[in-house]
Amino acid sequence: MSSYDYIVVGAGSAGCVLANRLSARGASVLLLESGGNDRHLSVKAPAAFPTLFQTPRDWNFLSEPEPSLYGRRLFLPRGRMLGGSSSMNAMMYVRGNRADYDGWAENGATGWGYDDVLPHFKRSERNAEFGEPYHGQDGELHITNRRWLSRHWQPFLESAAQLGVPRIADCNGSQQEGGALIQSTIRGGRRMSAARAFLSSGVRKRAGLTIKSDAHVHRVLIEGERATGVRYEQADQIVTAHAEREVILSGGAYGSPQLLMLSGVGPARHLRQHGIDVVLDQPNVGEHLQEHPMTLVNWRCATGDTLDDAADPRYLLPWLIGGRGKLSSNVAESALHWKSDPSLAAPDFQIIFAPVYYWEHGFRKTGAPALSVGVCYIGPASRGSVRLRSSDPGDHPRILNNILSEGGEMQAMLRALELVREIASQPPFSAHVREELNPSAALRTQRQLTSWVRATCEHEYHPTCTCRIGSPEDGVVDPELRVHGIEGLRVIDASVMPRITSGNTNAPTIMIAERGAALILDGAQAGAAQAVSTSRS
């Protein structure tokens, strides 16, 4: 048995931050990652992220049959490597809306209002274009506008502006609503994943930090009401590691609830069905899953200049030498944050423009230049769940999103589709598009479009909320991210969001880890001071 101050399970967007911040203060930290390394050209080349799907670097989850999507099972890619999903995402740096975080605080997540969390966003950030009061420029996470951009994104925003969607410079600043060029976690034309940002070679050499990849955690060890360590498998060996202070789960919205349940913390009846001894009956574990539904509109491109030929070998050398050219694109160039109902507190749609044919997660091709718009519903009410498939730690969990299952959601989707079609018919963007490939001009009525959405809708790769902040009656962790009822155990990742944010979830997850690390370190410092005071008295 080996012993550490902290054990962090999962080297994704949150785990990499935690390992860095905790070890920087002299603590001994064991960081465990189920997947392998991130050393692959498709990880480093931003435009290549879809080629990582359904490979050994992807968890390759599959949902249960979705009742509101004609029983379709959805492909759910998640990164299984150092950096987690930050090593295979579209690198969009979008924080969400002020109202998201103020809503968290108003509903019991004390200390998580917008003014509380803004310093933690800035703590990580090294922004190439924007500074105070909303951005940081001294952190490890490089964020920039600089990468290959097509000639199409600006006409898209211009046409949207003519329809009343204002052009803004920064959707992470004073105003989210409007159309903007999206900033990306890219540096020098290469992906800036959480692993690259927070686990640099200097950090990895710290005496107190131990990183183990290909290490799959089977369970958290709990003695009485306290987490004492973990049991994991590496190279066909079962290893036990002890945590002197805390075990921290950063396995994401699928992995963290699964590991809690495997460890006996979850809905008692469900655990007993799988032969797991109940340590704590906590019915909220794995509940409240939220995801952003996404449907796509595609057109043939009238003018070329797209990413449909980005895999051509002629683009490799400029990228290898100088990080230039099409492989430096993050695919998602610009976006509208738009309210389908003006009375809403925050935008409920993110409408993403991409100069490529993107369909079925990039697996389907047209053979011709095309343009795509992702219609992403970022204000969903639907909630799903994560449950065990078995007591085997190697089994994937049962994941049900319940996408578009709540009343009013489909009508909102149809309003957004109508806006996108209006943009495509409006100069100057209308000069860039030809035939509508999906859904096609033949589908016009609400009934036709509703059926099409249910038959083709996917998601925006943003699972959240399955270990949410709340009281013991309606949540899993308290506002300091401590698991209710178990000492020495926290969850720090996207699963703790009380409600999904109005935007991409990578930036908020990094913020959650920054604030989580600060809570841990402040608590440790206060505890040490109390111990000194007690000893003197």
Mean pLDDT over 198-224 rounds to 97
Mean pLDDT over 16-24 rounds to 98
Q: Would you state the pLDDT for residue 87?
A: 98
Tell me the CATH number for domain 1-52+80-147+191-286+465-537. Answer: 3.50.50.60
Q: What does the pLDDT look like over 372-385, one tens digit per residue?
A: 999 999 999 999 99
List CB contacts of 207: < 8 A, sequence separation 6 or more.
none
- Statement: residue 531 has pLDDT above 80: no
Side chain identity at residue 466, one-letter code: T
Q: What does the pLDDT look like over 292-306, one tens digit per residue?
A: 999 999 999 999 899
Whether cis (ω within 30° of 0) applies to the bond prior to 439 is: yes
- Statement: residue 534 has pLDDT above 70: no
- Statement: residue 286 has pLDDT above 80: yes
Contact 399, 290 (CB under 8 A): no
Phi first, then psi, for residue 339 (nearest 5°) are: -95, 120
Domain ranges of the chain: 1-52+80-147+191-286+465-537, 152-183+293-377+405-456
Q: Which of 61, 62, 59 is nearest to 88 (CA)?
A: 59
Q: Which of 194, 29, 112, 60 is nearest to 515 (CA)?
A: 112
Q: Would you state the pLDDT for residue 526?
A: 72
Mean pLDDT over 319-344 rounds to 97
Q: Would you state the pLDDT for residue 492?
A: 99
Q: Residues 242, 459, 462, 484: which is the catalytic one?
A: 462
Q: Would you state the pLDDT for residue 272?
A: 98
Tell me the three state secondary structure of residue 281.
Answer: strand
Cα–Cα dist 261/276, whole Å: 8
Residue 29: strand pairing partners = 6, 209
Q: Would you state the pLDDT for residue 525?
A: 75
When computed from its CA atoms, the radius of gyration of the chain, rounded to whole angstroms, is: 23
Q: Would you state the pLDDT for residue 535?
A: 63
pLDDT-derived band at 387, boundaries 50, 70, 90: very high
Mean pLDDT over 167-187 rounds to 98
Q: Would you state the pLDDT for residue 528?
A: 66
Q: How many helices (H) and strands (E) does the chain have?
A: 13, 24
The torsion region of residue 5 among left (phi > 0), alpha (psi -120 to 50) and beta comes to alpha
Cα–Cα dist 290/286, whole Å: 11
Please state at what angle helix 409-424 crosses helix 153-162, rounded to 10 degrees.
110
Q: Is 270 a catalytic residue?
A: no
Tell me the fold of 152-183+293-377+405-456. Answer: Cholesterol Oxidase; domain 2 (3.30.410)
Q: What does the pLDDT look like over 463-486, one tens digit per residue?
A: 999 999 999 999 999 999 999 999
